[in-house]
Amino acid sequence: MPTHPSPAAPGARPSRRGAPGPTLAAVCFGLFMVGLDGTVVSVANPAISASLGTSFAELQWITNAYLLGLAVFLILGGKLGDRFGRRRMYLVGVAAFAVTSVAIGLVGTTGGVIAFRALQGLSAALLMPQTLALLRATFPKEKFGTAVGIWGGVSSVAIAAGPIVGGLLVEQAGWEWVFYINAPIAVIGLVLGSRVLEESTAPARTRIDVPGVVLLALGLLAVVLAVVQSESWGWTSPLTLGALVVGLALLVAFGLVEQRVAHPLLPLQLFRNPTLTVGAVAVAVNFFALFGVTFFLSLFLLNLRGADGLTAGLMLLPLSGVSIVASPIGAALVARFGIRVPMATGLVLIAAALLALTGIDVDSPYLGMAVPFVVLALGVGMVMTAGADAIVGSAPVQLAGVAGGLQATSLQLGGALGTAVLAAVVSAGTAARLDGTALAGTEGVAQGLVPDGLDAATTALAQDAFAGGLHTAFVVAAVVALLAGVAAAVFARTPRAHHEAPEVLAETEAALAAGPALR
């Protein structure tokens, strides 16, 4: 439970610890770091590949090790914050994020970068759930939606800044500085957070569900491993199918265990609320599209079109920058119409933008990309705000940390699967178009790299093969977004907590905490 500071002595400077405004400012530093790292690496990927000699699968793992570390341990991070203190876990996570970021730049090997990226993801998993949980514990319910809107806006600023900051740092200082930049941000966040954040915990201390942690981690790892490695192993390979079957079996076992333990890592009864469930799906699909598309658009601009890092970052600015205004727009729409309208509308906008991007090729005018980027960004920002409100706003206050972990898990797992699934689609589409030609089996084309010394016809063939694979991936992501939009239109409802009187809400939450089922 939140603790309240003692009254200040006469004449003493009043304490800002636990005040809503400073709390929001403090958690935004950690949020900014995590959001920045989600997109800053995309522009640095070609430089990392050239410096370390990475394969296409290794390049995917540099992105996915971070996202997977986040996805696997975010719910655990929420649990740790609920039990041991959200302020404490937030500050530890920020410090660990800075240390692992510096280590990534220093290690000098592909394997080391992947390993430290995973540890960086674990650090982010510790701090990220605490951001929403601290806001939920600090802000009154009638102002929580506004706080989430600002939270989403800061995340959008970080996403927007990522490609530009990454491009500038790669050009001027080297790809390592893409990670070193986190250190000064973390120092400011630690100093401010230690001064203004007030400690809060869940009302009841519960045990950590170790079997649930292990099963969830191994299950998600196996599924993502199967998808990422399918490009090199083949979809019908016993290794791919075996990893996929093992992963799904472990996730089923996780579900069974969670129904039987006294203090589950993820109370599955939460998913009896259709709004929370569709919110988690919408957030996952949102970042399935955003992270997957950003990964390949960066390769398209840097490798296929030959743009430098800063130019590519500026070209991607409409995609990320418009999200800054889209999140507040989404918050206003949620306040006006509830969750359903902005969530469904945002997903439809994402699908429309992806379908519009199927028309781009190596010679397309920039306007043909910029307009779909703006539409995509509007959709992403709207879904980000509505999805967070649907998940955290639908959960009881005592499960705020778990709900924050679930929201962030959906985000990062969607991003990891988006990168992996769309990479498999692009690779398969590119390979199919090169089958039977002199370029068959050339791995670099799936990254937009056209071998030197080719004649004009063969160069055009390679360019068209990558663009065609990219178009197929856009169609796949658009279909997924449309299906999620239909689900949001049918099942999403504004959480009752936003409308109930405080005494009714407290009574309801007490009943939920006491019973085995949440609804």
Task: Summarize the confidence of residues 137-142 as an average pLDDT.
Answer: 78
| Cβ proximity of 362 and 304 under 8 Å | yes
Per-residue pLDDT for 103 more than 70? yes
Confidence of residue 501 (pLDDT cuts 50, 70, 90): very low
Length of the chain: 519
- Which of the two residues, 258 and 395, has the higher pLDDT score? 258
Question: Any residues with CB less than 8 A from the CB of 231 and at least 6 apart, and which?
Answer: 56, 57, 423, 424, 427, 428, 446
Q: What is residue 123's predicted lDDT score, i.e. its pLDDT? A: 93
Q: Round to whole Å and give the CA distance between 99 and 114.
A: 15
Per-residue pLDDT for 512 more than 80? no
Confidence of residue 112 (pLDDT cuts 50, 70, 90): very high
**Range from 32-41, 360-369, 451-460 that averages highest in pLDDT:** 360-369
Q: Round to whole Å and give the CA distance between 87 and 194.
A: 8
Confidence of residue 507 (pLDDT cuts 50, 70, 90): very low
- Which of the two residues, 333 and 504, has the higher pLDDT score? 333
Q: Round to whole Å and give the CA distance between 393 and 337.
A: 15
Question: Any residues with CB less than 8 A from the CB of 410 and at least 6 apart, and which?
Answer: 280, 281, 283, 284, 287, 387, 391
Per-residue pLDDT for 479 more than 80? yes
Task: Summarize the confidence of residues 434-452 as an average pLDDT.
Answer: 73
Residue 251 neighbours by CB distance under 10 Å: 17
Per-residue pLDDT for 482 more than 90? yes
Confidence of residue 519 (pLDDT cuts 50, 70, 90): very low
Question: Any residues with CB less than 8 A from the CB of 449 and at least 6 apart, and which?
Answer: 303
Q: What is residue 99's predicted lDDT score, i.e. its pLDDT? A: 96
pTM over 0.75: no
Q: Which residue has the tokens 């009187």?
A: 501
Q: What is residue 128's predicted lDDT score, i.e. its pLDDT? A: 82
Q: Which residue has the tokens 């996952």?
A: 284
263-297 pLDDT, tens digit each:
787 777 777 778 788 888 898 898 888 878 887 88
Task: Summarize the confidence of residues 360-388 as an average pLDDT.
Answer: 87
Q: What is residue 499's predicted lDDT score, i.e. its pLDDT? A: 38
- Which of the two residues, 91 and 63, has the higher pLDDT score? 91
Question: Any residues with CB less than 8 A from the CB of 363 and at least 6 apart, and which?
Answer: none
Q: Name the percent of the chain lying above pLDDT 70.
A: 86
For residue 104, the surrounding DSSP H or E stretch is: helix 86-107
393-413 pLDDT, tens digit each:
766 666 666 676 677 778 777
Task: Summarize the confidence of residues 63-78 as an average pLDDT.
Answer: 79
For residue 141, the surrounding DSSP H or E stretch is: helix 141-172
Q: Round to whole Å and give the CA distance between 155 and 34.
A: 8
- Which of the two residues, 6 and 456, has the higher pLDDT score? 456
Q: What is the DSSP letter of 268?
A: G
- Which of the two residues, 418 and 232, has the higher pLDDT score? 418
Q: Name the percent of the chain lying above pLDDT 90.
A: 19
The number of helices, as runs of H, and strands, as runs of E, in the chain is: 18, 0
- In degrees, rounded to 5, the angle at the alpha carbon of residue 94 between the alpha carbons of residues 298 and 44 is 15
Residue 25 neighbours by CB distance under 10 Å: 17
Cα 289 to Cα 8, 262, 356, 506, distances in angstroms:
50, 36, 14, 38
Q: What is residue 327's predicted lDDT score, i.e. its pLDDT? A: 73
For residue 490, the surrounding DSSP H or E stretch is: helix 456-491
299-358 pLDDT, tens digit each:
888 888 888 777 877 888 787 677 677 777 887 888 888 888 888 999 999 999 999 999
Per-residue pLDDT for 8 more than 50? no
Q: How many CA atoms lie within 13 A of 164 on its CB side?
A: 13
Confidence of residue 206 (pLDDT cuts 50, 70, 90): low
Structure tokens at 349: 């906008």
Closest CA to 228 of 407, 415, 430, 50: 415
Q: What is the mean pLDDT of the chain?
A: 80
Closest CA to 465 of 485, 488, 493, 437: 437
Q: What is residue 517's predicted lDDT score, i.e. its pLDDT? A: 31
Phi-psi region of 463 (alpha: psi -120 to 50; beta: other; left: phi over 0): alpha
Q: What is the DSSP letter of 3?
A: -
| Cβ proximity of 216 and 72 under 8 Å | yes
Q: Round to whole Å and give the CA distance between 392 and 132.
A: 8
Per-residue pLDDT for 12 more than 50? no
Task: Summarize the confidence of residues 132-153 as an average pLDDT.
Answer: 78
